[in-house]
């Protein structure tokens, strides 16, 4: 007779990992300052003029220090980092995400020998973090390409920049192989999918579109060289230290159909494909079929070699890192041909069911759970939320404190959804590092007054202030969240 053996199995409710990386996220150009200290070269971020109140920053040819405020000094983390890291330890951080400024290591980007003073700065920073048991989580390229690579080679238009990036990645992987385990290659590499936004194409790829140029073709070519560079870096990183965890980093903004009309449904599908094909390539190691067909039909005739395709297949990422702030809705144009094409500036419509911040960022905590399921079903990889946060003009109360309950509410609701994605939907989540947990310069507008922090920094858009750090209400709240591993929100 068949022997029926009942095996007891317990699908234990997945909780957040015991070693869950509760942390905070920043980027070199948005907080370090010291923009020409220690031999640092001029980066793409250094040639952007500040905007204000949501006005996108503009590309300023050459360096006009007067117009680049406050980026150049930012919050002077370069000289304050020891005290700041002590504050981060007081907050209870397990991880600290930042970028290595490419121009500290290779001031022009095309040198053979690295700049030792730059390498030493990050050695000292990582040692300070480890003193308090804080794991560095490092972004290799966070809108900080050496400006010389733009002026001399055209940024990521040029295949040569692959070699410069891979050289930079190899040098820092080797130098910090025993101090840094978690890496990611390009910050929000997919932002450039919105070719209508000069800012996105320039900050991500150092490409300034010339008059009459096909921005879309240029974007696909530049993005191709970047994903090849990313795949090469992943392979080299694993050779240098097999324990490295190297991720993609995607700006995740879910795009919902504006109505149940099948035309809107498909528009949303095409929009998600267009914004996230970068993750397909970095995680699956190949271009999705729709894009190969689309590029052929468009007659782009891109420089994509068979050797490139082998590199992509061999350099798949270990996890999906992503930023999450908001969601959007998209609507098919009335005269839309069936081929469909997603055009961010034309297809996005206001979602009337959610609130928006004063910068128009639509607040949608459930969208984070949606995004985590979408990534999980598509890639079956661990995930890392490396940015999430609420930018606002904070007010200092009569008692001298910032009572940022609006920021706590935003983060609480998003952490609740994040936990559901882990505990109910089975997502394997490595960590959560809220963006700008110490006030810093806004990438989009160049403002200091668009604040995300749990730590207030006394400096405003006009450059006035003592740079003094102080704790907002959210500092004490987040410290308790970490202490209870997210149990008590």
Active site residues: 188, 387
Q: Among residue numbers 241 through 260, which ones bind ligand BGP (CB under 6 A)?
A: 251
Give the residue at shortest CB distance from ligand BGP.
Answer: 444
Indicate which single residue of 443, 448, 455, 481 sits in contact with ligand BGP (rule: CB under 6 A). Answer: 443
For β-strands 245-252 and 319-324, DSSP reports them as parallel
Place of tokens 């009572």: 403
CA distance 382 to 344: 28
Which residues in 304-391 belong to E strands, given as ranges? 319-324, 328-330, 348-349, 383-387
* Shortest Cβ 280–ligand BGP spacing (Å): 20
* Shortest Cβ 452–ligand BGP spacing (Å): 7
Indicate which single residue of 21, 27, 134, 227 sits in contact with ligand BGP (rule: CB under 6 A). Answer: 27
Identify which of 244, 93, 106, 250 has the alpha carbon closest to the alpha carbon of residue 167: 106
Q: Give whichever of 222 and 311 is closer to ligand BGP, judged by the CB atom.
A: 222
CA distance 41 to 144: 10
* Shortest Cβ 455–ligand BGP spacing (Å): 16
Query: For ligand BGP, what does the binding mask look like between residues 292 and 331, x meaning CB under 6 A?
Result: -------------------------------x--------
Options 31-39, 215-223, 230-238, 440-448: segment touching ligand BGP (CB under 6 A) = 440-448
Whether residue 26 contacts residue 88, with contact meaning beta carbons closer than 8 Å, is answered with no
* Shortest Cβ 52–ligand BGP spacing (Å): 12
Query: For ligand BGP, what does the binding mask look like between residues 377 and 406, x meaning CB under 6 A?
Result: ----------x---x---------------
Q: How many other CB atoms are found less than 10 A from the CB of residue 52?
A: 13
Q: How many residues bind ligand BGP (CB under 6 A)?
A: 14
* Shortest Cβ 126–ligand BGP spacing (Å): 21
- Is residue 251 classed as helix, strand or coil in its secondary structure? strand
Q: Give whichever of 138 and 258 is closer to ligand BGP, judged by the CB atom.
A: 138
Indicate which single residue of 376, 442, 453, 477 sits in contact with ligand BGP (rule: CB under 6 A). Answer: 442
Q: Give whichever of 41 and 391 is closer to ligand BGP, judged by the CB atom.
A: 391
Q: Give whichever of 253 and 311 is closer to ligand BGP, judged by the CB atom.
A: 253
* Shortest Cβ 145–ligand BGP spacing (Å): 14
Which residues in 313-441 belong to E strands, given as ranges? 319-324, 328-330, 348-349, 383-387, 429-432
Q: Give whichever of 40 and 57 is closer to ligand BGP, judged by the CB atom.
A: 57
Q: Give whichever of 443 and 481 is closer to ligand BGP, judged by the CB atom.
A: 443
Indicate which single residue of 182, 432, 435, 478 sits in contact with ligand BGP (rule: CB under 6 A). Answer: 435
Q: Residues of 433-449 as b/e, b for ≥16 C-beta within 10 angstroms?
A: bbbbbbbbbbbbbbbbb
Helix (H), strand (E) at residue 220: helix 215-240
Indicate which single residue of 434, 444, 453, 486 sits in contact with ligand BGP (rule: CB under 6 A). Answer: 444
Q: Give whichever of 274 and 295 is closer to ligand BGP, judged by the CB atom.
A: 274
* Shortest Cβ 30–ligand BGP spacing (Å): 6
Q: Give whichever of 218 and 445 is closer to ligand BGP, judged by the CB atom.
A: 445
Place of tokens 């240029």: 218
* Shortest Cβ 361–ligand BGP spacing (Å): 8
Indicate which single residue of 97, 104, 275, 450 sits in contact with ligand BGP (rule: CB under 6 A). Answer: 450
CA distance 348 to 365: 19
Helix (H), strand (E) at residue 141: strand 135-141
Q: Which residues, 6 or more positions from 485, have their beta carbon under 8 angstroms from its beta carbon?
A: 15, 16, 18, 20, 22
Give the CA angle between residues 347, 320, 298 to the nearest 5°: 40
Options 151-159, 232-240, 312-320, 435-443: segment touching ligand BGP (CB under 6 A) = 435-443
CA distance 270 to 265: 9
Q: What angle separates helix 289-297 from helix 262-284, to the nearest 10 degrees?
A: 110
* Shortest Cβ 162–ligand BGP spacing (Å): 22
Q: Counting Cβ atoms within 10 Å, is residue 400 exposed (0-12), middle (13-18) or buried (19+)?
A: exposed
Asked if 139 interacts with ligand BGP (CB under 6 A), we say: no
Helix (H), strand (E) at residue 33: none
Place of tokens 């209400």: 473
Q: Give whichever of 154 and 247 is closer to ligand BGP, judged by the CB atom.
A: 247
Q: Could you give phi then psi for residue 179, rounded to 5 degrees?
A: -115, -20
Q: Among residue numbers 179 through 198, which ones bind ligand BGP (CB under 6 A)?
A: 187-188
Sign of the C-alpha dihedral computed for residues 179, 182, 183 and 188 taken in this order: negative
Judged by the rule CB under 6 A, the positions of this chain that interact with ligand BGP are 27, 30, 187-188, 251, 323, 387, 391, 435, 442-445, 450
């Amino acid at each position: 007779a068949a022997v029926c053996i009942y095996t007891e199995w317990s699908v234990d409710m997945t909780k957040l990992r015991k070693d869950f990386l509760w942390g905070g996220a920043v980027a070199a150009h948005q907080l370090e300052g010291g923009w020409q200290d220690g031999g640092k070269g001029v980066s793409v971020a250094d040639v952007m003029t500040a905007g204000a109140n949501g006005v996108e920053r503009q590309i300023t040819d050459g360096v006009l220090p007067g117009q680049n405020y406050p980026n150049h000094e930012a919050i002077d983390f370069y000289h304050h980092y020891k005290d700041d890291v002590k504050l981060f330890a007081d907050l209870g951080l397990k991880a600290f995400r930042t970028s290595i400024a490419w121009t500290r290591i290779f001031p022009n980007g095309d040198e053979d020998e690295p700049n030792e003073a730059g390498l030493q700065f990050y050695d000292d920073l990582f040692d300070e973090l480890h003193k308090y048991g804080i794991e560095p989580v490092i972004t290799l390229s966070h809108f900080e390409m050496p400006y010389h690579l733009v002026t001399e080679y055209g940024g990521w238009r040029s295949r040569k920049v692959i070699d410069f990036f891979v050289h930079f990645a190899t040098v820092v992987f080797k130098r910090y192989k025993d101090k840094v385990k978690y890496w990611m290659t390009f910050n929000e590499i997919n932002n450039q999918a919105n070719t209508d936004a000069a800012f996105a194409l320039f900050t991500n790829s150092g490409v300034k579109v010339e008059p009459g140029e096909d921005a879309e073709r240029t974007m696909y070519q530049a993005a191709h060289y970047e994903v090849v560079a990313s795949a090469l870096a992943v392979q080299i990183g694993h050779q240098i230290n097999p324990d490295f965890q190297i991720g993609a980093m995607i700006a995740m903004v879910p795009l919902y159909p504006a109505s149940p009309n099948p035309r809107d449904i498909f528009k949303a599908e095409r929009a998600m494909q267009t914004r996230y094909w970068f993750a397909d390539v970095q995680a699956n190691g190949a271009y999705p079929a729709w894009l190969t067909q689309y590029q052929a039909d468009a007659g782009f005739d891109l420089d994509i070699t068979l050797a490139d395709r082998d590199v992509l297949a061999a350099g798949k990422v270990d996890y999906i890192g992503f930023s999450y702030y908001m969601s959007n809705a998209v609507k098919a144009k009335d005269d839309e041909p069936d081929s469909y094409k997603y055009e961010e500036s034309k297809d996005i419509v206001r979602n009337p069911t959610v609130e928006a911040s004063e910068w128009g960022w639509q607040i949608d905590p459930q969208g984070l759970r949606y995004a985590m399921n979408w990534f999980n079903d598509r890639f079956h990889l661990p995930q890392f939320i490396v940015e999430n946060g609420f930018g606002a003009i904070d007010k200092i109360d009569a008692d001298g404190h910032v009572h940022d309950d609006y920021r706590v509410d935003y983060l609480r609701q998003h952490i609740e959804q994040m936990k559901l994605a882990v505990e109910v939907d089975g997502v394997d989540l490595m960590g959560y590092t809220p963006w700008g947990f110490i006030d810093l310069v806004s990438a989009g507008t160049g403002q200091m007054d668009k604040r995300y922090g749990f730590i207030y920094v006394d400096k405003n858009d006009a450059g006035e202030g003592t740079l003094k750090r102080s704790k907002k209400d959210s500092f004490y709240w987040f410290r308790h969240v970490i202490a209870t591993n997210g149990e008590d929100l």
